Amino acid sequence: MAACGQAKDATDYVNVSFSGMSGAGSATYNMDESKMFEDIFDMDSKSDSVNRETLKEMGQISDAYKIKLDKKKGTIQWRQSEGNGIR
């Protein structure tokens, strides 16, 4: 993904947790969007001020991916569309 010229690997912001045993386990994930946005937009986590254009880009990024987990692997799928700034 890229925004403001900052290319990032989304998998760096996904944490997967596993529980259970052989065939009866489960996996859950958490996407740390706050950290991802701080890195992409070079933001300070202590700063509350985000302009309207940056908020719009954040929304486009949030809407552009879907995380899927199955028994064999996890994937991040990107819905790329022209003009959304996602590569």
Which carries the bigger pLDDT value, residue 82 or residue 9? 9
Q: Tell me what pLDDT residue 52 has.
A: 92
6 closest CA partner among 61, 50, 73: 61
Residues 6+ apart with CB under 8 A from 31: 10, 13, 14, 67
**pLDDT tens figures, 31-68:** 899 999 988 888 876 766 788 998 999 999 888 888 88
26/19 Cα distance (integer angstroms): 5
Domain boundaries, the chain: 2-78
Model-wide pTM > 0.85:
no
